[in-house]
Structure 1
Amino acid sequence: MRIKVFLAALLMLCSSSLVMAADYYVDITNRTGYTIYYMYVSPADSKSWEEDVLGSDVLMNGDTQRVTLTGYKSPLFDIRLVDEDDDSYTFWNVDVSTQDIVVTLDNLD
Structure 2
Amino acid sequence: MRIKMVLVALVALMASSLVAAADYYVDITNRTGYTIYYMYVSPGKSKSWEEDVLGSDVLMNGDTQRVNLTGYTNPYFDIRLVDEDDDSYTFWNVDVSTQDIIVTLDHLD
Aligned amino acid, residue 90 of structure 2: T
Quick one: distance in 2 between partners of 1:5 and 1:29?
53
| Per-residue deviation, residues 74-93 of structure 1 (Å, max 9, x unmatched) | 11100000001110000000
Task: Give the drift of 1:71.
Answer: 1.5
User: Scaled by the length of structure 2, what TM-score is found?
Assistant: 0.90
Aligned amino acid, residue 5 of structure 1: K
Aligned amino acid, residue 25 of structure 1: Y
| Structure 1 stretch displaced more, 89-98 or 9-18 | 9-18
Aligned-residue CA RMSD in angstroms?
A: 1.5
Corresponding residue for residue 91 of structure 1: 91
Quick one: distance in 2 between partners of 1:28 and 1:6?
48
Quick one: distance in 2 between partners of 1:65 and 1:57?
10
Quick one: distance in 2 between partners of 1:17 and 1:51?
29
SS at match of 1:69: strand
Corresponding residue for residue 30 of structure 2: 30
Quick one: distance in 1 between partners of 2:103 and 2:22?
25
Task: Give the drift of 1:10.
Answer: 3.7
Quick one: distance in 2 between partners of 1:49 and 1:12?
36
Quick one: distance in 1 between partners of 2:13 and 2:38?
36
Corresponding residue for residue 57 of structure 2: 57
Aligned amino acid, residue 91 of structure 1: F
Corresponding residue for residue 8 of structure 2: 9
Corresponding residue for residue 42 of structure 1: 42
Instruction: Give runs of aligned pairs for residues 94-105 of structure 1, distance below 5 A.
Output: 94-105=94-105
Aligned amino acid, residue 96 of structure 2: V
Q: How high is the sequence identity, in percent, across the aligned residues?
A: 78
Does 1:66 find its partner at 2:74? no
Please list every run of 5 or more consecutive structure 1 residues that lacks an aligned counterpart in the other structure. none
Quick one: distance in 1 between partners of 2:99 and 2:44?
15
| Count of aligned pairs | 108
Does 1:82 find its partner at 2:82? yes
Please list every run of 5 or more consecutive structure 2 residues that lacks an aligned counterpart in the other structure. none
